[in-house]
Structure 1
């Protein structure tokens, strides 16, 4: 009888322990307007680790540096200065520090290196774009080989710049010619080019070649995480953390 009561007491204690180990974690996401909820083992993880892990994976699906936007207008060109580089570098260092300090669950620790590489890539693209506008000779030295052709005309002559701009527009039209709306797109692009050429050819050539040509070229050379892989990792993480208790409720827009 005494032995039976002891076993019963132990089982009861185990049940209480199991209950106290489970904590409920809730959060909202900004991607699909969904509410998430699940119970996790507080002996293995903390709520802060879960929050940081979600932040880590979400940061791999978005931009992490927002202080600099490449000029899209002549007004934007006029405001561009090396202060943009100072702000960018400060933001970059802070973003790297914040990412490195994230305390995450073991299942996603490998993704921290991906985030650091992604931030490095964003910084490189933005830094080189600023240099392309303000110090093209230095940008040429630091740029990927495949992107240098966008910079070289600016170290030659305005005639070379205008020639390169025209080639860039013609290549853009040709690339979009496969669309069923190719005629309309061609007319729109050519009309815009002719209008810009008539009003301020030097500045519009800079925007076309440096923001869209050079900037996009560098962006294609730097590291970008596989967003499909990151999304799957996010789903798997929640299954691992919360098991069958994981519930999602999404709003209808």
Structure 2
């Protein structure tokens, strides 16, 4: 899908007036678009906000999440990170709630708010699983609890579950055939052995929480289908601009 960026919309939007018809123009990375709309029915700002909402369904809206990319980052995590995440979430959600969109885009706005809620919950639970597995377990989707339950048992239980998780990841490659399973097993086993020899407690925690639990929680969060968003964008183009809509795209 050709995606619109907020900066591009704001910078490239051009509106010209002619009686009840206004020409609205905007660009994305590869295309220039324009169409005439009835300024008795809509405003240019409503249109801008409506496309911003649709774009939000295909992007990450909360960008301040602290992703643990290495074991040293585990020691830098604190409950303050959750507070910071919550502040950003509340601001992002408030900004969207205030947007005035065209009537035909009100459903997309509600969908975006639902998407933002899902992003926040996913990120919050992942951070909580690192910092307070007991509390995270109480709030977790049932199917995701398996990844953090061992942290409430013993280090031995954690190591056993980590090894099981590595095998589960290997078996996920079976959809690509036996050769791919064999290839990935070699890579995954070597990495597991190196990490286990280096710092088994921290690597187990990072893999089980980030890759296991985090991905599981992510699967439960709402996310709009990108093909449907693309189709809905085309429908909105037709609704707002009718046959006046024009699009010129360039080869990347």
Both proteins in one fold, TM over 0.5: yes
Match of 1:214 in 2: 213
* Counterpart Cα distance in 1 of 2:188 and 2:124: 28
Partner of 1:131: 128
CA RMSD of aligned residues (A): 1.4
Secondary structure in structure 2 of the residue aligned to 1:252:
coil
What's the counterpart of residue 120 of structure 1?
A: 117
Checking the alignment, whether the CA contact within 8 Å between 2:66 and 2:81 is kept in structure 1 is no
- Which residue is equivalent to 1:3? none
1:194 matches 2:202: no
Q: Deviation per CA, 1:59-97, whole angstroms, max 9, x where unpaired?
A: 011111110143121132232222211110001001111
Q: CA deviation at 1:46?
A: 0.5
Matched, 1:41 2:38: yes
Show structure 2 runs of 5+ residues with no match: 1-16
Question: Where in structure 2 are the equivalents of 1:1-253 lying within 5 Å?
Answer: 19-30=18-29, 33-179=30-176, 180-253=179-252
The equivalent residue for 2:8 is none
CA distance in 1, matches of 2:75, 2:96: 33
* 3-state SS in 1 of match to 2:33: strand
| Contact 2:23/2:37 (8 A) holds in 1 | yes
CA–CA distance in 2 between the matches of 1:154 and 1:70?
20
Partner SS for 1:223: coil
- 1:193: how far off? 0.8
What secondary structure sits across from 1:181 in the alignment? helix
C-alpha distance in 2, partners of 1:112/1:37? 22
The question of whether the paired residues in 2 share the 8 Å contact of 1:162 and 1:202 is answered with: yes
Count of residues in correspondence between the two structures: 234
Q: How many angstroms apart in 1 are the aligned matches of 2:91 and 2:182? A: 47
TM-score by length of 1: 0.89
- Deviation for aligned residue 1:178: 3.4
- TM-score (ref. length: structure 2): 0.89
Q: Which has the larger radius of gyration?
A: 1
